[in-house]
Amino acid sequence: METLEAIHTRRSIRKYTDRPVPRELVTELLRAAMSAPSAVNAQPWVFIVIDDRKILDEIPTFSPYAGMCREAPLAILVCGDTTQEKAPGYWVQDCSAAIQNLLLAAHDAGLGAVWTGIFPMTDRVQGFRKAFGLPGHVFPLGLVPVGYPAEKLSPQDRYREEKVYNNRYGQKRE
């Protein structure tokens, strides 16, 4: 799949078959995630691969928009380790870029995935901290349930000219 095709056709997939995702493919997703740019090349990310059915079923009890975990064969928790930052405060951007790479790699591999937000919602952050034993310097940013899709969503053209300005805010492009 070409890069722009992957970007334009990727959709948030929330329904999965029960087919397991091979470990080698999960490694490829993680390799793609870790290829993301990061401030000062700090790469402050930490990934927790969750494939224990009991844990996946428990996640929606403390993360209300992660109900699809009950169907997903796995999820990847993406966290930022603030002790690894070289540019303080940029871990959110760094880990967001890693999540986007992960989503595109999953799509390219024929998998479905969706980004469920955690940070900065205090209740969700605390829920993930407790469930996964995260130390105080490791912040959960997002959870990405992954699996073979049980739904097919059509691509959407999301380009909106009214959201683009030329040289300064409010100045329309000609």
pLDDT mean values, one per 10 residues, the chain (174 residues): 94 97 98 98 98 98 97 98 97 98 98 98 98 98 98 95 96 91
pLDDT value of position 90: 98
Q: List the Cα angle 111/120/103 in 5-degree steps.
A: 15
pLDDT value of position 1: 82
**Dihedral angle computed from the Cα positions of residues 81, 141, 31 and 52, in that order, rounded to the nearest 10 degrees:** 100
The CATH number of the domain covering residues in 1-161: 3.40.109.10
d(CA 36, CA 21): 22
